[in-house]
Amino acid sequence: MKFKWTVFVLILHGTVVLIGQTTRAGDPQEDAIQHLLAVGPDAAGADKAQKAVDALVAMGPKALPAILAAIPADDVVKANWLRVAFTRIVDEAIREKKPIPADELLSFVNDKTKPGRSRRLALEAVEKVAPGTTAKVNDGGLDDPEFGADAVAARMDKAAAVEKADPAAAAKLYREAFDAARDFNQCLALAQRLKALDVSVDPLARLGVVRDWLVVGPFDDPDEKGYATAFPPEKAIDLTATYAGKDGKLAWKSFTSEAPDGRIDLLKAIGPHDAAVAYAYTVVTCPKDQEVELRASSDDNLAV
């Protein structure tokens, strides 16, 4: 079965910030980092990069903050070279009982503007020399963009541990986790746990799942080229219009998802059809100017 959705929504403006780095000529540490950042496709520059890793490891823990700050968020290959150097230094320092700049690394962990994976790498290093640090970060990290899901999981574990002895305390902890959760599965699980404690919440509303749509279809697509084809509803939005469809005249009709996860089942909305295209329309209104995230998925083709 092949369907195509077109979802018309309000997308708010975003901001792209480009951040550059300056380096000091002749600085061995910076020179080594730049060799790692110069690795190209097909391992171009890998020989120099390996020597640069060895050079950074020889510099010891003092190089850790600079390596961490240099890890790019958008280049896996370069990031992996720098992570190798970082991890080797940490492991060697622990083995040789050398101190690492834990306070400086923890400051990086606590800076929510830094790349998430780099913050996590720094936290793993600090945890090795100061066990319990991760638990402290998670305890206050419900709103953290990188550690939020970890913090929610930790709060769920804490609630589960007291649930039998103190249901009210457990419900409070579960509710705190629910109000902060952004992960779909966590929200659904928390709703179930709260329901068991007679607390009613709406996980789909919490996540902003859109359940009310107008749908139209099916449009015939015998050659299965519909994904790249603009059928009439895609050319102009007219919710009063009728169209020639696969099985006759088509018109927009309302459909509200009753599924626990909010999915739109087109088998229920328009019926079972092969080699067909359908459209769904909704309006999302934002009460104020803010950054928003739109997520959509399908078990077949989907266009937004």
**Number of domains making up the chain:** 3
User: Which region among 37-41, 71-75, 216-220, 243-247 has the lowest average model confidence (pLDDT)?
Assistant: 37-41
Give the total residue count for the chain: 304
226 shares its domain with 278: yes
Tell me the Ramachandran region of residue 93: left when phi exceeds 0, alpha when psi lies from -120 to 50, beta otherwise. Answer: alpha
81 shares its domain with 45: yes
For 174, the enclosing helix (H) or strand (E) is helix 167-180
Tell me the Ramachandran region of residue 82: left when phi exceeds 0, alpha when psi lies from -120 to 50, beta otherwise. Answer: alpha
163 pLDDT exceeds 50?
Answer: yes
CB 125 within 8 A of CB 83: no
167 shares its domain with 228: no
185 shares its domain with 276: no
Question: Residues near 265 by Cβ (< 8 Å), separated by ≥ 6?
Answer: 257, 259
Q: Provide, rounded to the nearest whole percent, the portion of the chain with pLDDT above 90.
A: 71
Structural domain for 287, as ranges: 1-19+209-304
Whether 140 is in a domain gets the answer no
pLDDT bucket at 22, cuts 50 / 70 / 90 = very low
224 shares its domain with 248: yes
117 shares its domain with 44: yes
pLDDT at 227: 82
45 pLDDT exceeds 90?
Answer: no
Average pLDDT over residues 118-141: 97
- Hey, what long-range contacts does 7-11 have (CB within 8 A, 24 or more apart)? 7/280, 7/281, 7/282, 7/296, 7/304, 8/237, 8/281, 8/282, 8/283, 9/282, 9/283, 9/284, 9/294, 9/304, 10/283, 10/284, 10/285, 10/286, 11/292, 11/294
Average pLDDT over residues 277-286: 92
Backbone angles phi, psi at 122, to 5 degrees: -65, -40
Backbone angles phi, psi at 248, to 5 degrees: 125, -155
12 pLDDT exceeds 80?
Answer: no
Whether 239 is in a domain gets the answer yes
Whether 29 is in a domain gets the answer no
pLDDT at 10: 35
Q: What is the mean pLDDT of the chain?
A: 89
78 shares its domain with 49: yes
Whether 258 is in a domain gets the answer yes
Whether 30 is in a domain gets the answer no
Nearest to 303 by CA among 247, 255, 245, 231: 231
Average pLDDT over residues 111-125: 97
18 pLDDT exceeds 90?
Answer: no
206-208-212-218 Cα dihedral, nearest 10 degrees = -130
Backbone angles phi, psi at 3, to 5 degrees: -125, 155
**In the sheet that 276-281 helps form, which strands lie side by side, from edge to edge?**
253-256, 212-220, 276-281
- Residue 144: count other Cβ atoms within 10 Å of its Cβ: 19
253 shares its domain with 277: yes
Whether 141 is in a domain gets the answer no
The tokens of 273 are what? 């059809």
229 shares its domain with 192: no
CB 231 within 8 A of CB 277: yes
213 shares its domain with 304: yes
Whether 31 is in a domain gets the answer no
pTM beyond cutoff 0.85: no
Nearest to 136 by CA among 145, 126, 254: 126
Whether 229 is in a domain gets the answer yes
217 shares its domain with 272: yes
SS3 state of residue 92: helix
Of 131, 156, 172, the position where a domain reaches its end is 131
Cα separation values, 92 from 96, 108, 121, Å: 6, 21, 16
76 pLDDT exceeds 50?
Answer: yes
45 shares its domain with 125: yes
Cα separation values, 272 from 5, 264, 297, Å: 15, 14, 19
